[in-house]
Amino acid sequence: MSRDPGIGSAPGRAEPRGTEQSPAEPSATAPLRLLLADDQALVRGALAALLGAEPDLEVVVELGSGEGVPEAVAAHGVDVALLDIEMPGVDGLQALERLRAQGLDCAVLMVTTFGRPGYLGRALALGAQGFVVKDTPAEALAEAVRAAARGERVVDPTLAVDSLAAGASPLTPREADVLREALTGASVRAIAARLHLSSGTVRNHLSAAIGKTATSTRGEAAVVARDRGWL
């Protein structure tokens, strides 16, 4: 009696397998997400165009002042914030201070036309990764952004030398407060009212500041202190 070939026979050959897919290619690293804060629209636009031309950099937020920087950093997942020093309202240093106070750890690069040595120490003390001037060549600026994102320190070489030569600010915190008010052209009485000091105390601080800046008037002292980055 013949056997039913379908029962008890040797297993048949395996069914042909579908075409195997090659392992997925690893995705390219996502570009660094950048925030630009500068009150000059033309400068801000030029920086955005230069940095945006780099394949690994993406400008996701542009602001005209330091106001709203922490909120924008948190909302857009910013990797590196580029902040101008002098802006109306909230300036770059104040924006940096707010970022750190809120525990936001994105890298910060100060970018400015004002290469004032005193700003360097203040920016680094507040937690900035670097400080470059706006006439930095495009390729160098892009590399500074990448370095800041890696947690490296980036400082304009000329500014670093000037900062070492200038030394730390000789002004006391209260003298600096008084000179900031003097920059507005306020009278001694107005400065006293704003800072809750007596007029005599304000005059004493102004006199000390004038001596330390080797100037003749409170207005001159305020300008020198500002230009050296002491305010």
Whether pTM > 0.85 for this model: the answer is no
Q: Are 90 and 38 in contact (CB under 8 A)?
A: no
User: What domains, with CATH codes, occur in the chain?
Assistant: 32-166 (3.40.50.2300), 173-227 (1.10.10.10)
Q: Virtual CA dihedral for 180, 183, 188, 191, nearest 10 degrees?
A: -40
DSSP strands (E only) in 103-147: 107-112, 130-133
Dist CA 231 CA 227 (whole Å): 9
Dist CA 82 CA 154 (whole Å): 12
> What pLDDT does 89 receive?
87
Q: Name the 3-class secondary structure at 214.
A: coil
For 14-18, 44-48, 83-87, 120-124, which range has the lowest pLDDT when averaged over its residues?
14-18
pLDDT at position 113 over 60: yes
Question: What is the DSSP secondary structure assignment for residue 105, as one 8-state letter?
Answer: -
Confidence band for 58, pLDDT divided at 50, 70 and 90: very high
Q: Mean pLDDT over all residues of the chain?
A: 84
Q: How far, CA to CA in Å, does 56 sit from each of 13, 141, 142, 144, 187?
A: 51, 13, 10, 13, 52
Confidence band for 209, pLDDT divided at 50, 70 and 90: very high
- pLDDT, tens only, 5-24: 443 444 444 444 444 444 44
The per-residue b/e assignment along 176-204, b for 16 or more CB within 10 angstroms, e otherwise, is: bbbbbbbeeebebeebbeebebeeebbbe
